[in-house]
Amino acid sequence: MPKSNNFNLLAIFALIFATFIWGSSFIALKLVMQDLGEFTVLFFRMLVASLCFIYFVKGFIKYKFTKKDIQFILLLGFFEPCLYFIFEAKALLYTSASQAGMITSLMPIITAMAAGYFLKEIITKQLIFGSLLATSAAIWLSLQATTTQLSPDPLLGNFLELCAMICGAGYTIVARYLSDKFSALFITAIQSFIGAIFFFPFFLYEYFTTDIHFTNNSIGWIFYLGVIVTLGGYGLYNFALTKIDASKASMFIYLLPVFTLILAYAFLDETLSSSEFLACGFILAGVVLSQIKFRRPKQQS
């Protein structure tokens, strides 16, 4: 069933809440990985989310899957959560939550470029210029970052976050295709199941090679990531994709760095220097420039 191009208030609210929840995930990951290894966190996050969907499995079996559907479902899981979460977890070992949040604002540009290549959508000069401006500013932001105990290599961390955004763009395009046939609940559930299976061997390796100490605090954050971020965030986003186009949904990623900056300041005491704020401004300017449409004035006859 084709999506409506009209303003959909319910989808808008769903995207705003999803973006806020995703912004909080940077803070949650940063805090929980002080106690646990990244793959332990990712596996239990996916496991908790998967357990939430056990009740719905009987309904999912009713779907009829073609070979192409299965290929796209596997591709969806490969992009996100598998590669996306690996890049993001590794990124937060090296950079701050604030900087990682700013890099996420590049995702709409990457999504638009990917749509141009794979979906043959038009790539304008405006998009190319905005992309160059935002990317240059992101590099500048990374070079301006100061090394701290919690962000030992911001340049590497921001690059890994950029890789996560590339995977996120691929996920958005595939999810948009799957949303024509499958419910948002199913798409969110299959992500969780694939993620739990994928990260299980990584967790076993980490379990037998490193010291793992579960604390009440880390367990609480795992449940937050599994239920609120994975189930809630992706559920809301996938629901929105059933109502509006992927290109419009990706625009709400602009809110993610704003939410992340506020939450990182409140919970992690992170701050940005004036030059870093300036770089953030150029990133957002490049992103907005690449997306907005300018109307040429009509010539009077």
Query: Is it the case that residue 292 has pLDDT exceeding 70?
Result: no
Q: How confident is the model at residue 69 (pLDDT cuts 50, 70, 90)?
A: very high
The total domain count for the chain is: 1
pLDDT at 299: 52
Judged by average pLDDT, the poorest of 49-53, 77-81, 101-105, 263-267 is: 101-105
pLDDT at 78: 95
Could you tell me if residue 230 is inside a domain?
Answer: yes
Residue in 51, 105, 91, 126 with CA at minimum distance from that of residue 282: 105
pLDDT at 134: 79
Q: What is the 3-state secondary structure (H, E, C) of the chain?
A: CCCCCCCCHHHHHHHHHHHHHHHHHHHHHHHHCCCCCHHHHHHHHHHHHHHCCHHHHHHHCCCCCCHHHHHHHHHHHHHHHHHHHHHHHHHHHHCCHHHHHHHHHHHHHHHHHHHHHHCCCCCCHHHHHHHHHHHHHHHHHHHHCCCCCCCCCHHHHHHHHHHHHHHHHHHHHHHHHHCCCCCHHHHHHHHHHHHHHHHHHHHHHHHHHCCCCCCHHHHHHHHHHHHHHHHHHHHHHHHHHCCCCHHHHHHHHHHHHHHHHHHHHHHHCCCCCHHHHHHHHHHHHHHHHHHCCCCCCCCCC
Could you tell me if residue 8 is inside a domain?
Answer: no
pLDDT tens by residue, 78-108: 999 999 999 999 999 999 888 888 888 788 7
Cβ neighbours for 176, distance < 8 A, ≥ 6 positions apart: 241, 245, 246
pLDDT at 301: 45
**What's the number of CA atoms in the CB half-sphere (13 Å) around residue 188?**
28
Q: What predicted TM-score, i.e. pTM, was given to this entire model?
A: 0.80
Q: How confident is the model at residue 270 (pLDDT cuts 50, 70, 90)?
A: confident
Could you tell me if residue 3 is inside a domain?
Answer: no
pLDDT at 5: 46
Instruction: Determine the structural domain holding residue 156 and report its residue range.
Output: 27-291
Highest mean pLDDT among 99-113, 118-132, 225-239, 245-259: 225-239
Q: Residue 274, exposed/middle/buried by CB under 10 A (0-12, 13-18, 19+)?
A: exposed
Dist. CA 182–CA 234, nearest whole Å: 14
Could you tell me if residue 301 is inside a domain?
Answer: no
Could you tell me if residue 298 is inside a domain?
Answer: no
Query: Is it the case that residue 1 has pLDDT exceeding 60?
Result: no
Mean pLDDT of 160-186: 89
Q: How confident is the model at residue 227 (pLDDT cuts 50, 70, 90)?
A: very high
Query: Is it the case that residue 21 has pLDDT exceeding 50?
Result: yes
Cβ neighbours for 265, distance < 8 A, ≥ 6 positions apart: 98, 271
Could you tell me if residue 6 is inside a domain?
Answer: no
Mean pLDDT of all residues belonging to the chain = 85
